[in-house]
Every structure is written in C-alpha cells, then in structure tokens.
Amino acid sequence: MDSILLKIPLTFIGILLVPVLLNFLWPAPLVRFILWCSQQINGLKVGYAEHNGYRFCYYSRGKPGLQPSILMLHGYTIHKIAWLLVLHFFPKDIHVICLDLPGHGGTTCLPGESYTAFDQVKRIHEFVECTRLNGKPFHMVGISMGGMLAGIYAAHYPSEVCCLSLLCPIGLRFPKDTDVFKRAKDADISVIPSNTQEGLLMFRTCSYHFYRFPKQCIKGFFGDWLLESNFFRKCFLDVFNEESLYSLQENMSKIQAPTQVIWGKDDKMVDVSGADVLAKGIPQAEVHLLEKCGHFIPADSPKKFSQLLLDFYTSHTKSEKLTKPKN
C-alpha cells in the first residue's frame, strides 16, 4: 500500500517533468506539440491536394458558401502556422484556407524547381484550380513574399480575386531600404540564418514584440527550420533575382480588385515606405500603418490585423452575417 501511495506523487512529478525536459532538451518536439494544440483549438484541418504528382498542403476551416472564401499566403521561410494567432479572431463560418507555398511546410519541395515569383504564382493557380477555389471570386491575403505573390496573382487572374489584402509585401522599389533588405537585394546569403543563434536574431528583427515568445520555443522552431536551410537558400536566390525583385511593382497597375495595404511602422525587414508605393500604384488602395508593430504582423498585432481584415472583407462582400473578431 505504501509503495502504491509513493508511486502516485512520483507519477505526477514525472508528468510535470516531461514538458520541462522537452523545453530544455528537445524544444523542437515541444513546439510541434504546441502548434498541433493550436491547430485543434482553432478547429483547423490539414488538407492535401494533388496535381500532376505535385502535393499541396494547407489548413482549412469552414466550407465554401455564399460568402467568399479567404486564401492566405505566408511569407518566406515560414509556413501555414504563420496565421494561427490570427485565426483565433476569425468567425468560424468563413471558409479559410492557409496554403503552404511551394517548397514550404508540407507542400512538395523539388530539387530542380524554380521559385521565382511567377513560377510560384503558377503553382498557386494550379492549387486554386484543382481545389476549385475559383468557383467564385475569393479574398486573397499575403504577407511579405506571400504578399508579393498575392499581388501578382490578382494582377494576372483578376476575375478570381474579389478583394486583396497585402501585408508588408516585397517586390517593390522602396524609397528607403532597411539594412536587411539592402543585403537581400545584393543576394547576400548571410541574411539567412545558419544556426539557432542567428535564427533568434532574425526573429528579433522580424517581431516588435519578440519578448512575448519563449526563447526555447523559438529555438525549437529554428531547430526544424535549419533542416530546410538548403531549400531556403535556393528560394532566396530565386525570389531576389532580376526577374522577381520588382515583380509586384511591375504588375500592380494591373490589379483590379479592391486592395488593402497593412504595414507595421516598426518593420525592420521591409521598410514601411513601400506602403506609399502601393498607395500610388493601386487605385483607391486602403492603407493602414500599425503602431508598435514589426514585419511579422500576425504575431505582433493579431487582433488589430484581424479587425482590419474582417472590416475590409465585410465592406467588399454582400454578406451581412459577419461580426467583429471575438475576444
């Protein structure tokens, strides 16, 4: 009996020690578990779409209906998890898809694949067609590299996009460049982290509120991230080559959809002066500059961003059922 009573507190202590050990010894599995929990809490399903031997991976929630669907494109080196904090504030009756861009996350990564802006847009269009997302016009959202791709997509497939939200996109001639972007334009491969410490520094640069995120969790994320570093170098060189470097600027005049531009005033990756470029180049574009917000808008200002996005979505759709983000 005594031995049984002794085992109970020992078992309890053991259960408590598991996340502690994971946190300090194996942070990457802990991060995967946290992301899985967040996915479950948000009611997201992981889906796959096959097209000519190419596999796309994505989050989805809700079903297509009278309201336009929302397609969300993440930035360079991250994947669909970029939107987890934001989706918490979205009404669950909106059909949302968060796509892993070519080579990122669970979407196919081919050694000889080209990842220039236009080649990625072609792949995204393949995904849209094979999932029949273009059965009716949808709201397209993109951040950073994903913002560049969303803008080009809207320019080339205008009948498929009913409204467009661009978050601090690249692909522009910026009146002012950040130090990081200057190096990127020069194809300086050293801007890509090669170890966890450099990854932590990059996260500090991307996020105004980096201190909100436990250091061990960031280490865990970059532990997995570094496994894909060869792909990220290839993608970097393709995105910042001559063909892609100013591709959004060269195509923005073709954008017909109502457009929303959102930028963090404290963006240290891509200068906020790009918002003015888009405002001048896209007729009647709405511009929102966020205080105390860096490049990673979904993490720095998830509720404010969600409110702006949903207000814009509502104002350009006929549905009256949408509500403000929940608390």
| Catalytically annotated residues | 144, 267, 295
Pairing of strands 54-61, 286-290: unpaired
Instruction: Give SS3 for 324.
Output: coil
CA–CA dist 302, 127 (Å, integer): 27
Type of residue numbered 176: K
Choose among 57, 80, 59: nearest CA to 69.
59
Contact 289/263 with Cβ under 8 angstroms? yes
166: β partners: 142, 261
Type of residue numbered 50: E
Token look-up 């991976």 returns: 57
Instruction: Give SS3 for 316.
Output: coil
Token pair belonging to 294 = 């860096």
Contact 245/185 with Cβ under 8 angstroms? yes
| Helix/strand/coil (H/E/C) assignment for every residue in 43-81 | CCEEEEEEECCEEEEEEEECCCCCCCCEEEECCCCCCHH
DSSP state letter for 326: P
**In 10 A of CB 53, how many CB atoms?**
7
**The 138-143 sheet, strands edge to edge:** 45-51, 54-61, 96-99, 70-73, 138-143, 161-167, 259-264, 286-290
DSSP state letter for 195: S
Cα–Cα–Cα angle for 38, 39, 41, rounded to 5 degrees: 60
Helix (H) or strand (E) holding 99: strand 96-99
CA–CA dist 259, 263 (Å, integer): 13
